Amino acid sequence: MSTLLRLLLSGLLTVLALGVLFVMGLLAPLAAAQLAESFPEVAYLRWPYTVLLWVTGACALVVIGLAASVVSLAGRDRFWSAPTVRAFGLAAIALVVTGAVFLGIDAHLTFWVRANPPAVAYGLLGGALVCLTAAAACWAARGEVTRGMTVRDEWAAFV
């Protein structure tokens, strides 16, 4: 991987992490406060949902950190290694947790609270599908890296 590409990816991941921190640290609590004030009948959901959004933010930061470690490994010609396999596996787990939280919030709003406007319902469902698809892609990449390591080891033994 070229130095320029590695620097660009690292910069983009840093900006993305700062964006997640901004949204989770400032925008989510402010939006929750405004929604609790506007809809007092569901104001009791303010803190539980804020905490769940913080969980998804933490998962997002974990995935971003793991992506940064994979970029670093690739920059040092160590992409085909056990740390890359672990990074893809942990990223898949974090993405599944995030997707499950989105589906859980969607189900709770739909079936228990019975107050789930279509935009929120579809947004949560879409977010869950994106997370679960990304988790499947990470798991597939994990398998491909494992297979690539096996081929590399066989090639090294042959040569």
Q: What is the pLDDT along the chain (159 residues), one digit of tens a residue?
A: 889 999 999 999 999 999 999 999 999 999 999 999 999 999 999 999 999 999 999 999 999 999 999 999 999 999 999 999 999 999 999 999 999 999 999 999 999 999 888 999 999 999 999 999 999 999 999 999 999 999 988 998 887
Quote the pLDDT of residue 1.
Answer: 80
**Residue 159 exposed, middle or buried by CB count within 10 Å (0-12, 13-18, 19+):** exposed
What is each CA distance from 86 to 10, 79, 80, 119, 139, in whole angstroms?
A: 19, 11, 11, 36, 10
Question: Phi and psi at residue 2, in whole multiples of 5°?
Answer: -70, 155
Q: Which position has the token pair 């964006």?
A: 19
How many other C-beta atoms lie within 10 A of the C-beta of residue 158?
6
Quote the pLDDT of residue 156.
Answer: 86
Quote the pLDDT of residue 83.
Answer: 97
Rounded to an integer, what distance in angstroms lies between the CA atom of residue 105 and that of residue 70? Answer: 31
Can you say whether the dihedral through the CA atoms of 85, 90, 96, 98 is positive or negative?
negative
Rounded to an integer, what distance in angstroms lies between the CA atom of residue 142 and that of residue 139? Answer: 5
What is each CA distance from 69 to 34, 38, 50, 111, 114, in whole angstroms?
A: 37, 42, 28, 40, 42
